[in-house]
Amino acid sequence: MGGKTLGELLVDLRDVEGVRGCALSTNDGIIVRSELNGRFRDDVVSGLASFLLSTTRRAFDEAGEASGIDRFVVHATHGKMVIKRVEDAFLIVITDQFARLDSLLRTVDAVAAQMCAASRLDV
């Protein structure tokens, strides 16, 4: 097997420049594992991400559009939040306002792909 565990992948992602914290959550907002460094409450971050995804999916459904959301990015005054689908869960990444979105999205996509390929759930 030899690949990194989900926990190791989150630690590596948390250490990327500009990243304040990250977490892996189920679609209904239950935290699988988090590396939020005590800066953010797990339940609040995961609940917000779950709410954003579910209401956005509902809006697309009501508009008759496909609701397969792969990535959701929130830009705020003091930072960004990237929510990336990882099979039946989602990866949440919180950054400061200076994080470069282009390189961050490539990194998030790569980590998500590694998580999808992981053959075990070692948290």
pLDDT at 81: 93
Residue ranges per domain, the chain?
A: 6-117
Specify the pTM. Answer: 0.87
69-113: pLDDT as tens digits: 788 899 999 999 999 989 888 999 999 999 999 999 999 999 999
pLDDT in tens, 36-63: 988 899 989 998 888 888 888 888 888 7
Judged by DSSP in three states, 36 sits in coil
Tell me, which fold does domain 6-117 have in CATH? Beta-Lactamase (3.30.450)
**Nearest alpha-carbon partner for 10 in 105, 115, 84:** 115
Cα separation, 39 vs 88, in Å, equals 26
